[in-house]
Structure 1
Amino acid sequence: MSTRNYAEVREWLRDARNKTFWNEDLLTVKRSKFGGLGVFARRDIEVDLQDEKSNLLLRISKEAILSGANSCISNLLYDSHIDGILALVLALLYEKAEGKNSPWFEYINSFEFQDSTSHKLIFAPALWEDEERMLLEGTDAELMGIVDPQDIKDDYNICLQFAKDNSSVMKAPYELSPDSEKSKWENRKLFQHFAAACFAVSSRAFIIDNYHQLALVPGADLFNHGAQNGEDVHFVAIGQVCPFCGRSDECGHDEYGPPDSEEEEYEYEKEEEEEAKAVDDDVDDDVDDDVDDVTSITMDLINQLEQELEQQKKEEAEAEAESSEEHFDVDSELTPDEVRLNPDQCCDIVIQRKVKKGQELMNTYGDLSNSLLLAKYGFTMDKNPNDIACLGRQIIAYRDSVGEKANERLEWWSKVGYDRLKEEEDEDDSDEQMDISEEDSIDDSWLLAINIGYPGVSSTECRCVTKLLSMTDEDFCKLQNDEEEFCKFYRSEMDTGSKRILNELCQARLRCLPGLRSKVYEKFRKGRVEGRKLAICRLLRSEEEILLHEIAKELSEFT
Structure 2
Amino acid sequence: MATVVPKFFDWFQAHQGTIDTFSVDVINFPPSEGGRGAVAIKDIPKINKLRWCTKEGHVLFTIPRDLTLSTRTSSLPTRLGMEAWKNAKLHEGWAGLILCMMWEAAQGSSSKWSGYFDILPSSFDTPMFWTEEELAELRGTSVVEKLGRADAEKDYKEKLIPAINSRPELFLPRDIPTHYSVEMYHVMGSRILSRSFNVEKWTPDGEEEEDDGGAADVSMGSGMDVDLPDGASAPPTHSPLGTDDLEHEEGEEQEQEDSSDITMVPMADILNARYRSENAKLFYEETYLKMISTKPIKAGEQIWNTYGDLPNAELLRRYGHVDVFQLPSGGKGNPGDVAEIRADVIVSVTAEQHSLSTDAIHERIDWWLEEGGDDIFDLYFDLEIPPSIISIIRLLLLLDEEWEKTREKAKPPKPKMDAVVLTVLHEVLQRKLKEYPTSIQDDEQLLITASSLNLRHAIIVRLGEKKILDGILTKTAAALATENKMKRKTTHEDRPAAASTLKKTKRQA
Could you tell me the TM-score, scaled by structure 1's length?
A: 0.63
Q: Which has the higher contact order (CA 8 A, sep 6+)?
A: 1
Check the 8 A contact 2:391/2:416 in 1, yes or no: no
For 2:282, which of 220, 235, 249 is the aligned residue? 235
What is the aligned partner in structure 1 of residue 317 from structure 2? 375
Rounded Cα–Cα distance in structure 1 between residues aligned with 2:454 and 2:140: 16
Check the 8 A contact 2:350/2:393 in 1, yes or no: no
Task: Give the residue type in structure 2 aligned to 1:196.
Answer: V
1:330-371 C-alpha deviation (Å, 9 max, x unpaired) = xxxxxxxxxxxxx22322322222332322222222353333
Residues 13 and 499 of structure 1: CA distance in aligned 2, closer, same or farther (over 3 Å): same
Check the 8 A contact 2:39/2:300 in 1, yes or no: yes
Identity percentage of aligned residues = 20
CA shift, 1:125, in A, is 2.0
Name the SS for the 1:344 alignment partner: coil
Rounded Cα–Cα distance in structure 1 between residues aligned with 2:13 and 2:132: 44
Provide runs of 4+ in structure 1 moved above 6 Å.
516-519
Rounded Cα–Cα distance in structure 1 between residues aligned with 2:125 and 2:167: 27
Q: Name the one with the larger helix percent.
A: 1
Check the 8 A contact 1:13/1:22 in 2, yes or no: no
Check the 8 A contact 1:391/1:509 in 2, yes or no: yes
Give ranges in structure 1 of 5+ residues lacking alignment: 115-121, 179-186, 238-342, 422-445, 520-526
Rounded Cα–Cα distance in structure 1 between residues aligned with 2:69 and 2:174: 17
Name the SS for the 2:60 alignment partner: strand
Rounded Cα–Cα distance in structure 1 between residues aligned with 2:297 and 2:57: 14
What is the aligned partner in structure 1 of residue 454 from structure 2? 533
1:186-207 C-alpha deviation (Å, 9 max, x unpaired) = x9x9433332232122211111
Rounded Cα–Cα distance in structure 2 between residues aligned with 1:517 and 1:482: 44
For 1:415, which of 367, 387, 410 is the aligned residue? 367
Name the SS for the 1:107 alignment partner: helix
Q: Confirm whether residue 219 of structure 1 aligns to residue 267 of structure 2.
A: yes
Supply the RMSD in Å over aligned alpha carbons. Answer: 3.5
What is the aligned partner in structure 1 of residue 22 from structure 2? 25
CA shift, 1:505, in A, is 0.7
What is the aligned partner in structure 2 of residue 397 from structure 1? 348
Equivalent residues in 2 for 1:12-91 (5 A)?
12-15=11-14, 18-32=15-29, 33-48=32-47, 51-52=54-55, 54-75=57-78, 76=80, 78=82, 79-81=84-86, 82-83=90-91, 84-91=93-100
Task: Give the residue type in structure 1 aligned to 2:112.
Answer: P
What is the aligned partner in structure 2 of residue 262 from structure 1? none
CA shift, 1:53, in A, is 6.1
Check the 8 A contact 1:4/1:112 in 2, yes or no: no
Q: Confirm whether residue 500 of structure 1 aligns to residue 442 of structure 2.
A: no
Residues 395 and 361 of structure 1: CA distance in aligned 2, closer, same or farther (over 3 Å): same
What is the aligned partner in structure 1 of residue 473 from structure 2? 552
Check the 8 A contact 1:510/1:548 in 2, yes or no: yes
Check the 8 A contact 1:41/1:359 in 2, yes or no: yes
Rounded Cα–Cα distance in structure 2 between residues aligned with 1:410 and 1:370: 34
Residues 399 and 137 of structure 1: CA distance in aligned 2, closer, same or farther (over 3 Å): same
Rounded Cα–Cα distance in structure 2 between residues aligned with 1:207 and 1:369: 21
Rounded Cα–Cα distance in structure 2 between residues aligned with 1:4 and 1:167: 41
Name the SS for the 2:339 alignment partner: strand
Residues 344 and 167 of structure 1: CA distance in aligned 2, closer, same or farther (over 3 Å): same
Check the 8 A contact 1:72/1:94 in 2, yes or no: no
Equivalent residues in 2 for 1:135-150 (5 A)?
135-142=137-144, 144-146=145-147, 149-150=149-150
Residues 550 and 517 of structure 1: CA distance in aligned 2, closer, same or farther (over 3 Å): closer
Rounded Cα–Cα distance in structure 2 between residues aligned with 1:224 and 1:504: 40
CA shift, 1:396, in A, is 4.1
Name the SS for the 2:107 alignment partner: helix
Check the 8 A contact 2:350/2:424 in 1, yes or no: no
Rounded Cα–Cα distance in structure 2 between residues aligned with 1:467 and 1:351: 49
Residues 419 and 369 of structure 1: CA distance in aligned 2, closer, same or farther (over 3 Å): farther
Name the SS for the 1:390 alignment partner: strand
| Number of residue-to-residue matches in the alignment | 395
Rounded Cα–Cα distance in structure 2 between residues aligned with 1:384 and 1:471: 38
Residues 161 and 556 of structure 1: CA distance in aligned 2, closer, same or farther (over 3 Å): same
1:433-466 C-alpha deviation (Å, 9 max, x unpaired) = xxxxxxxxxxxxx222x23123433334223223
**Computing the radius of gyration over CA atoms, which structure comes out larger, 1 or 2?**
1
Q: Confirm whether residue 112 of structure 1 aligns to residue 121 of structure 2.
A: yes
Give ranges in structure 2 of 5+ residues lacking alignment: 201-257, 325-332, 443-448, 482-509
Name the SS for the 1:235 alignment partner: strand
Residues 385 and 474 of structure 1: CA distance in aligned 2, closer, same or farther (over 3 Å): farther
What is the aligned partner in structure 2 of residue 306 from structure 1? none
Name the SS for the 1:66 alignment partner: coil
Rounded Cα–Cα distance in structure 1 between residues aligned with 2:396 and 2:364: 11
What is the aligned partner in structure 2 of residue 512 from structure 1? 435
Equivalent residues in 2 for 1:261-410 (5 A)?
343-382=285-324, 383-392=333-342, 393-398=344-349, 401=352, 402-404=354-356, 408=360
Name the SS for the 1:381 alignment partner: coil
Check the 8 A contact 1:236/1:350 in 2, yes or no: yes
Q: Confirm whether residue 165 of structure 1 aligns to residue 195 of structure 2.
A: no
Rounded Cα–Cα distance in structure 2 between residues aligned with 1:52 and 1:397: 56
1:157-204 C-alpha deviation (Å, 9 max, x unpaired) = 132222111212342574x338xxxxxxxx9x9433332232122211
Task: Give the residue type in structure 1 aligned to 2:100.
Answer: A
Task: Give the residue type in structure 1 aligned to 2:272.
Answer: N
Residues 173 and 542 of structure 1: CA distance in aligned 2, closer, same or farther (over 3 Å): farther
Residues 135 and 417 of structure 1: CA distance in aligned 2, closer, same or farther (over 3 Å): closer
Which 10-residue stretch deviates more, 37-46 or 470-479?
470-479
CA shift, 1:64, in A, is 0.9
CA shift, 1:507, in A, is 0.7
Name the SS for the 1:349 alignment partner: strand
